[in-house]
Amino acid sequence: MMANVGTIDRILRFIIGVVLIALPLSTNISLFMQPLFFYGAIIVGIVMLLVSAVRICPFYSIFGIKTCRV
């Protein structure tokens, strides 16, 4: 598979992924007291970090979107 995630997209995904993992683990926001949101945010954050690392987004592949120049 070819890379379909560009540099700016990677940086934004990395930042959002780190925030989604850090918020439930380090804050006492009432939203994250519910298991669905707690684990959901962590899973989405891990997926964002994974996509940022490998530069391949399955949803972009399905819809034919590319944010990189390659």
Q: Which pLDDT score is estimated for 70?
A: 66
The string of pLDDT tens digits covering residues 18-66 is 999 999 999 999 999 999 999 999 999 999 999 999 999 999 999 999 9
Structure pTM?
0.89
Q: Which pLDDT score is estimated for 1?
A: 79
Reading phi first (left if > 0) and then psi (alpha if -120 to 50, else beta), residue 56 is in beta
Three-class SS of residue 39? Answer: helix
Q: What pLDDT band is residue 69 in, cutting at 50, 70 and 90?
A: confident
Q: How far apart are CA 13 and CA 7, in angstroms?
A: 10
